[in-house]
Amino acid sequence: CKTTDGGVRGSLLWVLDHTRTPFGRRLIRKWVSQPLTDPQSISQRQDAVQEILESDSLTLISIRSLMSHLPDLERGICSIYHKKSSTQEFYLISCSLSRLGLELQALLPAIQSQINSALLRGLLLDTPDLLAPAHSFLKVLNEKAAKSGNKTELFSDLSGFPVLQERTEQIQTVLNEIQDHRKEIRMKLKAPALDYTTVSGQEFLIEVKNSLSSTVPPDWVKISCTKAVSRYHSPFLVERYKKLLQLREQLLLDCQREWTNFLEQFGEHYHTMKRAISHLATMDCLFSLAEVAKQGDYCRPEVCQSQPQIIIREGRHPAIDLLMGEHNQYVANHTELQGDGRRTMIITGPNMGGKSSYIRQVALICIMAQMGSYVPASEAQLGVLDGIYTRMGASDNIYKGRSTFMEELTEASEIISRATERSLVILDELGRGTSTHDGIAIAYATLEYFIRDVKALTLFVTHYPPLCELERVYPQQVTNYHMSFLLNEPDVAADTDEVQPEFITFLYQLTEGAAGRSYGLNVARLADIPDSILHSAARKSRELESMVNTRRYVYNIYIYYDKVLNCLQHFIWEFEGLSHSTTLHSRKIKLF
Three-state SS string across 495-554, please?
CCCCCCCCEEEEEEEEEECCCCCCCHHHHHHHCCCCHHHHHHHHHHHHHHHHHHHHHHHH
Yes or no: say if 28 and 19 are a contact pair by the CB < 8 Å rule: yes
3-state secondary structure of 228: coil
What is the pLDDT at residue 587? 42
DSSP letters for 458-507: EEEE-S-GGGGGHHHHSTTTEEEEEEEEEEEPPP--TT-------EEEEE
Yes or no: say if 413 and 382 are a contact pair by the CB < 8 Å rule: no
What is the pLDDT at residue 79? 94
What is the pLDDT at residue 234? 92
Instruction: Provide, rounded to the nearest whole percent, the portion of the chain with pLDDT above 70.
Output: 84
What is the pLDDT at residue 508? 87
What is the pLDDT at residue 501? 61
Q: Where are the alpha helices (DSSP H) in 328-397?
A: 355-371
- Residue 223, H or E segment: strand 221-225
156-162 contacts at long range (C-beta below 8 A, 24 or more positions apart): 161/258
What is the pLDDT at residue 27? 96
159-253: what fold? MutS, DNA mismatch repair protein; Chain A, domain 3 (1.10.1420)
pLDDT at 2 over 60: no
Average pLDDT (567-573) is 69
AA letter at 88? Q
Q: Which residues contact 383 (CB under 8 A, 6 or more apart)?
A: 303, 304, 305, 306, 307, 308, 309, 310, 339, 422
What is the pLDDT at residue 10? 84
Provide the pLDDT confidence category of residue 558 given band limits of 50, 70 and 90: low
Yes or no: say if 178 and 200 are a contact pair by the CB < 8 Å rule: no
Report the alpha-carbon distance of residue 207 to residue 304 in Å, rounded. 89
pLDDT at 189 over 70: yes
Nearest to 372 by CA among 44, 7, 18: 44
- Residue 556, H or E segment: helix 531-576
Q: Rounded to 5 degrees, what angle do the CA atoms 573, 578, 579 make?
A: 95
DSSP letters for 271-336: HHHHHHHHHHHHHHHHHHHHHHHHHHT-B--EEESSS-EEEEEEE--HHHHHHTGGG-----EEEE
Report the alpha-carbon distance of residue 583 to residue 182 in Å, rounded. 141
- Residue 338, H or E segment: strand 333-338
Yes or no: say if 534 and 522 are a contact pair by the CB < 8 Å rule: no
Judge residue 26's burial from the number of C-beta atoms within 10 Å of its C-beta, 0-12 exposed, 13-18 middle, 19 or more buried. Answer: middle
Radius of gyration of the chain (CA): 41
Judge residue 354's burial from the number of C-beta atoms within 10 Å of its C-beta, 0-12 exposed, 13-18 middle, 19 or more buried. Answer: buried
Report the alpha-carbon distance of residue 220 to residue 280 in Å, rounded. 66
**Do 302-529 and 159-253 fall under one CATH topology?**
no
Rounded to the nearest integer, the mean pLDDT of the chain is 86
Residue 232 sits at φ, ψ, to 5 deg, of: -130, 160
Yes or no: say if 350 and 519 are a contact pair by the CB < 8 Å rule: yes
pLDDT at 535 over 90: no
What is the pLDDT at residue 284? 96
Provide the pLDDT confidence category of residue 30 given band limits of 50, 70 and 90: very high
Yes or no: say if 21 and 288 are a contact pair by the CB < 8 Å rule: no
3-state secondary structure of 138: helix
pLDDT at 571 over 70: no
3-state secondary structure of 231: strand
Cα 471 to its chain centre, rounded Å, is 37
| CATH number at 12-142+264-296 | 1.10.1420.10
Q: Would you say the C-alpha torsion 337, 339, 341, 343 has a positive or negative sign? A: positive
Q: What is the pLDDT of residues 91-146, one digit of tens each?
A: 999 999 999 999 999 999 999 999 999 999 999 999 999 999 999 999 989 899 99
Q: Which residues contact 375 (CB under 8 A, 6 or more apart)?
A: 298, 299, 301, 312, 315, 318, 365, 368, 369
pLDDT at 85 over 60: yes
pLDDT at 498 over 80: no
Q: What is the pLDDT of residues 356-409, one digit of tens each?
A: 899 999 999 999 999 999 999 999 999 999 999 998 876 766 777 677 788 888
Give me the torsion for CA of 262, 266, 268, 271, rounded to 10°: -160
| Ranges of each domain in the chain | 12-142+264-296, 159-253, 302-529, 532-592
Average pLDDT (72-85) is 94
pLDDT at 313 over 90: yes
302-529: what fold? Rossmann fold (3.40.50)
pLDDT at 459 over 90: yes
Residue 528 sits at φ, ψ, to 5 deg, of: 65, 35
